[in-house]
Structure 1
């Protein structure tokens, strides 16, 4: 009888197991249409996305190619399998079904390379112990020439010397930021976003959770986050990049924590890339799920295990500056950063208070493979945000807000001379750093504890005045050495400056002056000794001296 009882129990358990719906990804073998798409990139990418790749010398390759629709249709037609999402970068389809059905379909489908289950004990890589953690997603969003009057945002902008960037006219104009979050209710009506709406700075968006074009829905977290970058109330509130343009993408379903949200995030990042976005901010992170069998361990925080981190790394390799919150787990049992903050290319941001002391909730690094995370910090204790219900200015805590503050200023810095310098270098050795690497290095090395990083403080709090000068200097060093001694005097300049330090014959050299948006405001076909610019408005400009493949760009501050 005991044996029969045991057998009966086993059969019940097996029956329940065989019926349980599991999340998994099918990774496909090929993209048969790759040659067609790569030879006709406008079929899959906007011109702005192509320009960004050209400027950063990033090749268009098979990861840009859409997935083969016949493969997807084949999977959709399978009985017992539901397609929930997909990623062209990873050539993967997110599905649900029982383990038995998924395994059988995989074994009988030659176009599928491998299957990965969200429950890692099912994967063929071998079972490993998974740390069982209590899901904490319910609290993931909360822990109890230009001269702006910053009002309530003064601390969060001036702590990072963002006001210096703004004073140089670097306010995010010409940059496109994608905010990937949990929803954006009332952004279409609140006074604090009126400036964005009237200036057509909200370029569009999408609700990936509901598969809807109504992205002004969902959880208010995204509204609060957006306000720290693009919100504006005259003399009361100024976002970190008030003149940037935005795409708003909802990928997070706030009431639940499920693996599908990782896939939706990657879908949104792919959409952002195809639209030519410069910066992504995401104040989200994943380590635990409603189904504890899907939980990640600290060992998984290595930048290459989780689906979302793999996608974030590809986004970085496409030339997007991805900025992510470190997480708010510093004072609980899971104290570490979460995915995708562990990805190598992601700029991970922790939180401090107004006295520059670390917030106790700010998550710890390093990554499980020993890399410094978070790299940098911004205000995340009593940060000023816009309340989504009444539009009032509120104070809120979390790395959810330190991240977008940082993302906005990084967009301002990225716009300083981006197109001008990046387009002027046609032959760059593979050994040279990418422009985004120069930018990140400039920001990191400007931080107050760069020489002595710690697991929670990282490199510390950046100084964007220092970072701007470092970035201009490091990118200028990529120009041809024959022009490296050229300088202008005086600088700052009021009416006339001299071009000094030029060695040799000036024949064949021309000169151009551009504003911060890359618009040409002066051109001379000969290289003059003196240049008169009294007609220019006060602000930041760039002098470009060129001859064939030789270029030199010099910053001009016009008083």
Structure 2
């Protein structure tokens, strides 16, 4: 009888445990975790010896009020003192504050908000100390902190698997058992909002991937000796160019043609960037962050470059350059991709290679690992680099890394962690320029799906669509790519030596070309906010009147964007293009339209959703559908709404939504919103 009671009690407890775990699955553990580990965490699986997890928190343990307050030491704080305290806590520098005050979408909002405050160290310590249950079998280690997403990334490492026997079933069983306990421990913390996988991708550098083709027959060494002292200020270098040039109209004026740009002239002139440079713009005063695989800073093209900061997010050092490997295939060099993109942005060897933003200041972030023929792409490094650059005052991010980590229905401008971070960067006054990727009809990559992210595709020298360039639209029907630029046969600095160059194909190189032109545009219009810049770029592209998911709004026109006059004021004065209504000074667009003034029409859902990605179009009995959802998403499978009219205003406070003015989340439990502004 006692044995029977014990068995019955054990059975009841087991059922309660499983039911509790099922509840945790639904509420806190993402489908990605279950897809990765199996639908039942109690199963024994053959899984890798390392797994990276996102842990999202639901609060921050800071309380800062917009009035006189008393510190723990009894001192009275005024708003001015609090402002300095907040700046010190967040690490946001003066340049970032100035950019936020000038460039942010809504200048009426505070300079600081909850997203700037650090992730709670108390929560982190509790996770690491309480949930590192058996570190001899499975250890957990803190990797990254994201203040913006209120999250951390951790890595779990199986310490029992011998390097020569990773297939041991007993080791796998032990690891999986411990991993289940770790996930359960974390999810039971009241301050934990959710758990997700850190998306990771092995991106082979071949065929139609991010480096489309490197033309070996065009490898060459520089024979240009016009510039002997690259350590001089750029103005002195340009003066030297004027004296050496034999094709000027006079000795005091540079002729911005092929004699100056060299092999870069085709891309520069196709986008009319040369015409902005004739007006005196060169990126001066702008900070640009470049996130890539690594940078060969010793190349002759960079001897003039103002590198004001760098960080290696792979090895946690302050050096983004790897030593060259003798006889290494340059495509598989850690320095290759970053060196190439940086040279398109700001390289400077007049007569050979010139990047338009050669007089900007640069922050370099190494975020990806090149392992032979593979590049290991992990999203937490990219997000950490973005937050780092924003704090240091970067105005533009050039990212030629397309993260094809998500399913197509998730490419809706708000679901991916990368896109959420990019949306917040734009909200804080940064311009995010991202390559579309080289997957042609396959999925394009995040964060290119962000509504105000400027996603860049590739064309050839005649302005024709490059067949490898990834196409749109987004899952919610927005036009992507946004803009196009030369990405076929682009001349770049090669990381094999200080004086090596080559030609390459890929949207990776169209992206920094557009970013360099936008740097000049921002220099020319220091008071334009991020939406106005986005509007100017799209409204003046070569296909602005007839955009499509292949080439977006057409080839970038820097001079046209410079001369554009973006709308000023709220929707009560500018209207909503007859496709929406004005709600609280912002346009609320009909479902078939998007944009600040509802000026862009969505692409109807159809073949691409259903056949390219094996998903379904949202059913709408009242008109066309513009949304692609997964086959299992029954909750969003039907939406009966007239896509061409909107009858009432609705409120949205989601910071990563695709509304015109995203707002930072205010759902951080005990935090009182900061409202101290300049």
- TM-score, normalised with respect to structure 2: 0.59
Secondary structure of the residue aligned to 1:460 is: coil
> Is the 8 Å Cα contact of residues 368 and 376 (structure 2) preserved in structure 1?
no
d(CA) in 2 for partners of 1:81 and 1:300?
A: 29
Cα deviations by residue, 1:454-479 (Å, 9 ceiling, x for unpaired)? 11111101221111111xx337889x
d(CA) in 1 for partners of 2:86 and 2:300?
A: 40
Unaligned runs of 5+ in 2: 1-39, 66-81, 133-138, 157-175, 214-252, 323-333, 574-678
Secondary structure of the residue aligned to 1:195 is: coil
d(CA) in 2 for partners of 1:211 and 1:405?
A: 29
d(CA) in 2 for partners of 1:34 and 1:202?
A: 37
> Is the 8 Å Cα contact of residues 38 and 61 (structure 1) preserved in structure 2?
no
**How much has 1:448 moved relative to structure 2?**
0.9
d(CA) in 1 for partners of 2:396 and 2:531?
A: 14
**How much has 1:84 moved relative to structure 2?**
2.1
d(CA) in 1 for partners of 2:319 and 2:313?
A: 10
Q: Does 1:301 align with 2:381?
A: no
In structure 2, do the counterparts of structure 1 residues 18 and 254 end up closer, same or farther at CA, with 3 Å as the change threshold? closer
d(CA) in 1 for partners of 2:127 and 2:358?
A: 44
Within 5 Å, which residues of 2 pair with 1:345-494?
345-390=452-497, 391-418=499-526, 422=527, 435-470=529-564, 473-474=565-566
Within 5 Å, which residues of 2 pair with 1:84-233?
84-97=143-156, 99-118=179-198, 136-139=203-206, 140-144=209-213, 147-148=255-256, 149-184=260-295, 186-187=296-297, 189-196=298-305, 201-217=306-322, 218-233=334-349
Partner residue, 1:315: 425
**How much has 1:31 moved relative to structure 2?**
1.6
> Is the 8 Å Cα contact of residues 317 and 345 (structure 1) preserved in structure 2?
no
**How much has 1:345 moved relative to structure 2?**
2.1
> Is the 8 Å Cα contact of residues 291 and 367 (structure 2) preserved in structure 1?
yes
Partner residue, 1:555: none
- TM-score, normalised with respect to structure 1: 0.71
In structure 2, do the counterparts of structure 1 residues 22 and 166 end up closer, same or farther at CA, with 3 Å as the change threshold? same
In structure 2, do the counterparts of structure 1 residues 326 and 48 end up closer, same or farther at CA, with 3 Å as the change threshold? same
d(CA) in 2 for partners of 1:34 and 1:318?
A: 21
> Is the 8 Å Cα contact of residues 291 and 364 (structure 2) preserved in structure 1?
yes
**How much has 1:174 moved relative to structure 2?**
0.6
d(CA) in 2 for partners of 1:38 and 1:29?
A: 24
**How much has 1:258 moved relative to structure 2?**
5.5
Q: Does 1:49 align with 2:118?
A: no
Secondary structure of the residue aligned to 1:215 is: coil
Tell me the C-alpha RMSD between the 2 structures: 2.7
**How much has 1:283 moved relative to structure 2?**
0.3
In structure 2, do the counterparts of structure 1 residues 119 and 208 end up closer, same or farther at CA, with 3 Å as the change threshold? closer
d(CA) in 2 for partners of 1:163 and 1:439?
A: 19
Aligned residues: 424
Q: 1:252 aligns with which of 364, 368, 372?
A: 368
d(CA) in 2 for partners of 1:437 and 1:476?
A: 11
Partner residue, 2:142: 83
**How much has 1:230 moved relative to structure 2?**
0.7
Partner residue, 1:236: 352
> Is the 8 Å Cα contact of residues 48 and 276 (structure 1) preserved in structure 2?
yes
d(CA) in 2 for partners of 1:403 and 1:325?
A: 5
d(CA) in 1 for partners of 2:48 and 2:420?
A: 30
Secondary structure of the residue aligned to 1:415 is: helix
Cα deviations by residue, 1:13-61 (Å, 9 ceiling, x for unpaired)? 9333588653321111222125287663421210111111122325310
**How much has 1:108 moved relative to structure 2?**
3.1
RCO comparison, higher one (Cα < 8 Å, 6+): 2
Q: Does 1:286 align with 2:403?
A: yes
d(CA) in 1 for partners of 2:154 and 2:182?
A: 9
Cα deviations by residue, 1:175-225 (Å, 9 ceiling, x for unpaired)? 1100011111x21x21111111xxxx1101100011111112333210110
d(CA) in 2 for partners of 1:366 and 1:342?
A: 9
> Is the 8 Å Cα contact of residues 448 and 460 (structure 1) preserved in structure 2?
yes
**How much has 1:158 moved relative to structure 2?**
0.3
> Is the 8 Å Cα contact of residues 279 and 320 (structure 1) preserved in structure 2?
yes
